Structure 1
Amino acid sequence: MCAAVSAAATTACGSGGGSQSSDGKTELTIATFNEFGYEDLLKEYEAAHPDVKITQRKTGQGGPHHENLFTKLGAGSGLADIEAVEEGYLSQVMSKAGQFNDLKELGPKIEDGRWLQWKTDAATTKDGKLIGYGTDIGPLAMCYRKDLFDKAGLPSDPEAVKALFATWDSYFAAGDQFIAKSGGVAWFDSSAQVFNAMHNQHKVGYFDQDDKLVVGSNPDIKADWDAVTKAALKGQSAKLTAFSPEWNTAFKTGSFATKTCPSWMLGVIETQAGPENKGKWAVTDAFPNGGGNWGGSYLTVPKQSKNAKKAAELAAWLTAPDQQIKAFQAKGTFPSQVKALEAPALLEKTNAYFGDIKAGALFATQAKKITAAQHKGPKDGQLQDNVFSPALQSVEQGKSADEAWKTAVEGAQKAAK
């Protein structure tokens, strides 16, 4: 049901006045970031719906995309008919749920149980409105350099390494063994990358279910901090900033041996490590303390949309199991739909770069280990990117872990205001 929050929002309900091109077609815009694998799918949809013309606004990185999203939400105009939202920014969208359409009401009827339940729950308001259709997810496994393990005397077969990755304690203990014989190669790339993966496993993270900041009182966060900084101070971290040029180069030069590895990370490793390192990287269906999710997005339909109903139809189609398999085949975006996780096209998918392992089946196994999505409170993404990651980097550069922790807690309190 449309709330009359503004003139733009009222138009958004799609009850007429929709945008049309000069040839009479309904014009739809979809704003995405990074790689969703939608290019061919959008052409396929247009071919099946000759009355629709689709324009994709594609941003290279998620940060600028979401900055634009929230700026235009505040302005009351300028948004696409469909806006993609990454999980780290979902809490901000949920806090502005009144500016987005309820897809249960607006969209086409969808079979129950299309998505993994935790994926749907995360985009559902407390009063039952569905704000986003789930796209991909990022089930976690562990990637590692087989040749570097061999050189350090550690087991390197994907089955044999599982014991090393059973718990965070065993992971960091293996790191101690590795760096003792590695000749200067680090165990992992970045304290922040490991900390973020650990943090995402907890039921309660930076905020509780009532969106109250609990950074200073959540013992799980402090325990993660202590474990990661202790390992870093022993020399296990390569002290890199994720996605920086130095981090990219380090995959090629073999500067670290393990990588917390959501499904989408396989493509990053292959791109950055290059063809000369094919076969050196491996992935195993094990992750410390069981599993977790890192990444994934949603398609939303803002109330600013002038063609909201048709936009919801397109968003529903893009997130159906068949289309999610095609997106996976195109760009490796891992499906969040139950039927897609059982599809032969997914389960039989191999990855030649990682030794022809059945990567689809491996990550489907990891996805089923996830039982719930951590509640993300307001500004959760900012705390991760702008508070905790820099604080962990400061420890890697010589600041005491205790002082950096105090800085992080204070920074979180300021950011959350």
Structure 2
Amino acid sequence: MMVLTVVLASACSTAVDGTPVADPRATRVGQPGGPVRISFMTSVGDGYEDLLTEYQSQHRGVTIELQKVQPDAYYAKLHTMLAAGQAPDVVVVGEEYRATLFDQPDLFADLAEVGPADVDPKQWPDWKYEGGLGKDGTWFGYGMDSGPLGMAYRTDLFAAAGLPTDPAQVGNLFRSWDSYLAAGDQYVRATGKPWFDSAAEVFTARQNQLDTGYYDRDDNLIIENNADIKASWDAVTGAVGRGQSARLAPFSAEWFNGFRAAAFATAPAPYWMLALIKTNAGPENAGKWAVADTFPGGGANWGGSYLAVPRQSHAAAQAAAFAAWLTAPEQQVRLFRTTGSFPSRVGALRSSELRGTTDPYFATKETGRRYADLAGKVTVAPYRAPRDSRVQTEAVWPALQAVEQGTPPDAGWQQAVDKARSVN
């Protein structure tokens, strides 16, 4: 690569609804200047193309090379490229992979060192900023999108069971996991039908509210001794035994059809799930689904991503400036508008456009404001060890499904623990 001259651009901030945002020109001393090509790898369908065109038009001499990879091949390719020393300059790291990647301190540049000087951690909620840190506290990822959790419910099924349908009153039912499951008992008694979609969905939503789950912060497997995980297991499997679960494997054909067939009355719903509800419940159920203002146990997040700069980048400061611009509130709101990607920056969560977004499909139409408020209730960035997602998908979820099919809860718990040990 050609030798690039050193420049220091002047700082100049812009704002979204009065909230200052980073100006990518406010760069560190030592940022390369002059013509530069920045490679950016993301998954097919992420919708960045128009933004990249705009960035290049505003930054003469900067060319963004977009590398789009199929979602199911993305992380395998990223690992291969990182190992070969051929990684792109900017990459997307999803919530489920941040532990695997950010816990390897030699892989990514410290954004506190190479990023624009006026990018401040406080421009994100604490939990989102903390999710972009490595175990040693190094800042590896600028928060992009997020997945605040709401609880979706069927107003017609609630009414038929004698339960309130107004979101404020429903919020009282959902103020805690105990009250949520107590309402489920009432619903089952009144209708004889399931309350929630699957044990795995409810268990995972609860787990996302814990500081540590299957592993402690030294990456020791603690599933067997984590009292909070065991309490969640007992509560969820107890509800299964009382008829509350529809026993549908998440993202199976039966689960998707369950939204249309009124197979359950409630489902934990990150913002990204609203599109799945609309598609699978179909137009005949428009106006029947709603989202409560309150999520059991406070707030929780399920999903989202970060932008990171591999340490091997030859233009790390330019790449970090581009990542800062792409994660700024203006761009997050634009991606929300065009792709439904829910923002994570404080300025974006406060924006009038986001908060004014409505969706007439839902009985609670003010989806933007509702989920922005739910994002404000998240307080925890759960610690994730590198094998965390494998324990969840290979050990815990199958054991929960076994309980739904008749395995006693204690035997199911032992199944989960034994499989977690083998995964570990």
TM-score by length of 2: 0.86
Residue 354 of structure 1 aligns to a residue whose secondary structure is coil
Does the alignment pair 1:110 with 2:88? no
Contact in 1 for aligned 2:210/2:380 (Cα 8 Å): no
Q: Give the structure 1 partner of residue 39 of structure 2.
A: 29
Q: Give the structure 2 partner of residue 203 of structure 1.
A: 211
Query: Residues 305 and 90 of structure 1: is their aligned pair in 2 closer, same or farther, counting only changes over 3 Å?
Result: same
Q: What amino acid sits opposite 2:40 in the alignment?
A: I
Q: What amino acid sits opposite 1:119 in the alignment?
A: K
Aligned counterpart for 1:342 among listed residues 350, 354, 378? 350
Does the alignment pair 1:131 with 2:131? no
**CA distance, structure 1, for counterparts of residue 73 and residue 243 of structure 2:** 34
**CA distance, structure 1, for counterparts of residue 284 and residue 65 of structure 2:** 38
Residue 85 of structure 1 aligns to a residue whose secondary structure is strand
Q: Give the structure 2 partner of residue 218 of structure 1.
A: 226
Residue 46 of structure 1 aligns to a residue whose secondary structure is helix
Deviation at 1:192, TM superposition (A): 0.6
Q: Give the structure 1 partner of residue 164 of structure 2.
A: 155
Q: What amino acid sits opposite 1:81 in the alignment?
A: D
Q: What amino acid sits opposite 1:313 in the alignment?
A: A
Contact in 2 for aligned 1:17/1:306 (Cα 8 Å): no
Q: What amino acid sits opposite 2:238 in the alignment?
A: K
Does the alignment pair 1:178 with 2:187? yes
Q: Give the structure 1 partner of residue 401 of structure 2.
A: 393
Q: How does 1:271-286 map to 2 (within 5 A)?
A: 271-286=279-294
Q: Give the structure 2 partner of residue 43 of structure 1.
A: 53
Q: Give the structure 1 partner of residue 17 of structure 2.
A: none
Q: Give the structure 1 partner of residue 390 of structure 2.
A: 382
Deviation at 1:182, TM superposition (A): 3.0
Deviation at 1:201, TM superposition (A): 0.8
Deviation at 1:407, TM superposition (A): 1.6
Q: What amino acid sits opposite 2:150 in the alignment?
A: A
**CA distance, structure 2, for counterparts of residue 330 and residue 245 of structure 1:** 27
Q: Give the structure 1 partner of residue 129 of structure 2.
A: 120
**CA distance, structure 1, for counterparts of residue 61 and residue 253 of structure 2:** 44
Contact in 1 for aligned 2:141/2:306 (Cα 8 Å): yes
Q: Give the structure 2 partner of residue 54 of structure 1.
A: 64
Aligned counterpart for 1:316 among listed residues 292, 313, 324? 324
Residue 147 of structure 2 aligns to a residue whose secondary structure is strand
Residue 261 of structure 1 aligns to a residue whose secondary structure is strand
Q: What amino acid sits opposite 1:405 in the alignment?
A: W
Aligned identity (percent) is: 47
**CA distance, structure 2, for counterparts of residue 238 and residue 189 of structure 1:** 5
Q: Give the structure 1 partner of residue 177 of structure 2.
A: 168
Contact in 1 for aligned 2:357/2:369 (Cα 8 Å): yes
Q: What amino acid sits opposite 2:130 in the alignment?
A: D
**CA distance, structure 1, for counterparts of residue 379 and residue 306 of structure 2:** 19
Q: What amino acid sits opposite 1:279 in the alignment?
A: G
Does the alignment pair 1:404 with 2:398? no
Q: How does 1:261-280 map to 2 (within 5 A)?
A: 261-280=269-288
Deviation at 1:376, TM superposition (A): 1.3
Residue 298 of structure 2 aligns to a residue whose secondary structure is coil
Deviation at 1:292, TM superposition (A): 1.3
Residue 138 of structure 1 aligns to a residue whose secondary structure is strand
Contact in 1 for aligned 2:32/2:318 (Cα 8 Å): no
Question: How many residues are matched?
Answer: 394
Residue 211 of structure 1 aligns to a residue whose secondary structure is coil
Query: Residues 45 and 276 of structure 1: is their aligned pair in 2 closer, same or farther, counting only changes over 3 Å?
Result: farther
Q: Deviations over 1:143-191 (max 9, x none)?
A: 111111112221111112112211111111211221233354x211111
Query: Residues 128 and 227 of structure 1: is their aligned pair in 2 closer, same or farther, counting only changes over 3 Å?
Result: closer
Worse-matched range after superposition: 334-343 or 106-115 = 106-115
Q: What amino acid sits opposite 1:337 in the alignment?
A: R
Gaps of 5+ in 2: 1-29
Query: Residues 228 and 35 of structure 1: is their aligned pair in 2 closer, same or farther, counting only changes over 3 Å?
Result: farther
Does the alignment pair 1:88 with 2:82? no
**CA distance, structure 2, for counterparts of residue 146 and residue 205 of structure 1:** 33
**CA distance, structure 2, for counterparts of residue 38 and residue 391 of structure 1:** 39
Q: Give the structure 1 partner of residue 268 of structure 2.
A: 260
Residue 39 of structure 2 aligns to a residue whose secondary structure is strand
Q: What amino acid sits opposite 1:32 in the alignment?
A: T
C-alpha root-mean-square deviation of aligned residues, in Å? 2.4
Q: Give the structure 2 partner of residue 240 of structure 1.
A: 248
Gaps of 5+ in 1: 1-14, 19-23
Residue 123 of structure 2 aligns to a residue whose secondary structure is coil
**CA distance, structure 1, for counterparts of residue 32 and residue 378 of structure 2:** 43
Q: Deviations over 1:217-268 (max 9, x none)?
A: 1101011011111111222112222222222222122211111112222122
Query: Residues 414 and 326 of structure 1: is their aligned pair in 2 closer, same or farther, counting only changes over 3 Å?
Result: same
Query: Residues 177 and 376 of structure 1: is their aligned pair in 2 closer, same or farther, counting only changes over 3 Å?
Result: same
Q: Deviations over 1:77-128 (max 9, x none)?
A: 4433222111121111122121111112122223322111221122223544
Contact in 2 for aligned 1:138/1:262 (Cα 8 Å): yes
Q: Deviations over 1:9-63 (max 9, x none)?
A: xxxxxx9999xxxxx97443322337544232222223323533434344554x5
TM-score by length of 1: 0.88
Query: Residues 210 and 48 of structure 1: is their aligned pair in 2 closer, same or farther, counting only changes over 3 Å?
Result: same
Residue 83 of structure 1 aligns to a residue whose secondary structure is strand
**CA distance, structure 2, for counterparts of residue 57 and residue 274 of structure 1:** 34
Query: Residues 224 and 249 of structure 1: is their aligned pair in 2 closer, same or farther, counting only changes over 3 Å?
Result: same
